[in-house]
Amino acid sequence: MEILSSLDDLAKVVRELKRANKSIGVVPTMGALHEGHLSLVRQSLVQSDETIVTIFVNPSQFAPSEDLDRYPQSLEADIAGLQSAGVQYVFAPSREEVYPENYSTSVVPPLVARRWEGEFRPTHFAGVATVVLKLLNMTRADRVFLGQKDFQQARVIEQMVADLNVATEVCICPIVRADDGLALSSRNVYLSSEQRTIALSLNQTLDHVERQIQAGQRDGFEVITEMRQMLIDAGVERIDYATVAHPKTLETADPIELPVVALIAAYVGETRLIDNRLLE
Ligand code: AMP
């Protein structure tokens, strides 16, 4: 496995791969890798000739009040995990490499970025869209592998790629959960064992929504009210949003018509967790 940190080294590799007519799969991550990330990696290894995993904690997607400075990092363990998974290339650039001093361009994210995460993290998707577009250009990715865990983020990237005619296919992979149902997240390491129990209520609430909708519930307002109540009853201190939305437009689904996505963002202690369930 080759570990690259400079744009020049990456460009050389990419040129060689393109010359050899190899398809390039890219998995963008912020490191602190877990099985969720590795599931994207495995999918890329299956679908692409060569896989580049990027590890970059992108400062422009964090607001000043957020956890950029304490975002979990474990580069050595990440590299070991990627090596045993059979990844060919890791690209782990410095901040200066990605955002040199004279850097000033940014992507205006598509309309699907407006609601939900966009309301609570107003600068987040501009940062995400910009860095992902840069990474796709740097790696000349044929395919990019994203997790459904970040449902709205995947929609933002999908829409940006379509709107800006980026020559990359967007592949969205299922949410990987721990045995107890908690969606894997790098931020789960912040949770105490009591908090982890409370955090399970996100998945349990999504289970409940799924059962209700399967049983014929079509009243979006009622579903949303129940979602909030279940989370509060479980001890969730702060809910950013708990909703049912159309999976393409991300507008609230009321009345509910399938397909629909149930979305939650909530704080357990200081830790902000997100989860979702797509019902088709
Ligand atoms: P992050 O490092 O958190 O920015 O995530 C990098 C990629 O991994 C994103 O496309 C995420 O959606 C994806 N990802 C994170 N957690 C999971 C999970 N539990 N299951 C599937 N994909 C995930």
Residue 243 CB neighbours (<10 A): 25
pLDDT of residue 242: 98
Separation of alpha carbons 237 and 198, rounded Å: 10
Q: Is 147 in the pocket of ligand 1 (CB under 6 A)?
A: yes
37 alpha carbon – ligand 1 mean position (Å): 5
**Whether the CB of 36 sits within 6 Å of ligand 1:** yes
CB of residue 159 inside a 6 A radius of ligand 1: no
Ramachandran area for residue 86 (φ above 0: left; ψ -120 to 50: alpha; else beta):
left
Out of 37, 124, 208, 246, the active site residue is: 37
Our answer on whether the CB atom of 44 is closer than 6 Å to any ligand 1 atom is no
State residue 141's pLDDT score.
99
The verdict on pTM exceeding 0.95 is yes
Write the residue with the smallest CA distance to atom 22 of ligand 1.
147
pLDDT tens profile 168-198 = 999 999 999 999 999 999 999 999 999 999 9
37 is catalytic: yes
CATH architecture of 186-275: 2-Layer Sandwich (3.30)
Whether 185 is in the pocket of ligand 1, judged by its Cβ within 6 Å, is yes
191: amino acid identity, one letter:
L
Atom of ligand 1 nearest to the CA of 32: 2
Cα(145) to ligand 1 centroid in Å equals 9
What pLDDT sits at residue 16? 98
What the block records as the tokens of 137 is: 């250009």
Ligand 1 close to Cβ of residue 127 (< 6 A) = no
For Cα atoms 54, 58, 61, give the angle at the middle one, nearest 5 degrees. Answer: 135
What is the model's pLDDT at position 206? 98
Domain coordinates of the chain in residue numbers?
A: 2-173, 186-275
Task: Give residue 212's pLDDT.
Answer: 98
Per-residue pLDDT of the chain (280 residues; tens, 9 = 90+): 999 999 999 999 999 999 999 999 999 999 999 999 999 999 999 999 999 999 999 999 999 999 999 999 999 999 999 999 999 999 999 999 999 999 999 999 999 999 999 999 999 999 999 999 999 999 999 999 999 999 999 999 999 999 999 999 999 999 999 999 999 999 999 999 999 999 999 999 999 999 999 999 999 999 999 999 999 999 999 999 999 999 999 999 999 999 999 999 999 999 999 999 999 9
Burial 153-162 (b: 16+ CB within 10 A, else e): bbbbbbbbbe
Q: Whose CA is nearest to atom 7 of ligand 1?
A: 29
- Residue 172 has what pLDDT? 98
The tokens describing 261, both together, are 């996505």
Is the separation of the CB atoms in 236 and 200 below 8 Å?
A: no
Question: Is the CB of 124 within 6 Å of ligand 1?
Answer: no
Predicted local confidence at residue 21, as pLDDT = 98
Residues near 65 by Cβ (< 8 Å), separated by ≥ 6? none
**40 and 27 in contact (C-beta within 8 Å)?**
yes
What is the Å distance from ligand 1's center to 88 Cα?
20
pLDDT, mean over the chain: 98
User: How high is the pLDDT of residue 104?
Assistant: 97
Q: Which amino acid is at 100?
A: P
The overall longest dimension of the chain from CA atoms, in Å, is: 58
Report the distance separating Cα 150 and Cα 157, nearest Å: 11
Residue 183: per-residue pLDDT: 98
Q: Which two tokens stand for residue 257?
A: 């018509």
Residue nearest to atom 13 of ligand 1 (CA): 147
**The Cα angle at residue 245 between residues 120 and 38, in degrees rounded to 5:** 75
Rounded to the nearest whole angstrom, what is the distance from the C-alpha of residue 253 to the centroid of ligand 1? 25
Instruction: Tell me the C-alpha distance between 153 and 159, whole Å.
Output: 10
Per-residue pLDDT at 139 = 98
Contact 265, 240 (CB under 8 A): yes
Domain 2-173: CATH superfamily is HUPs (3.40.50.620)
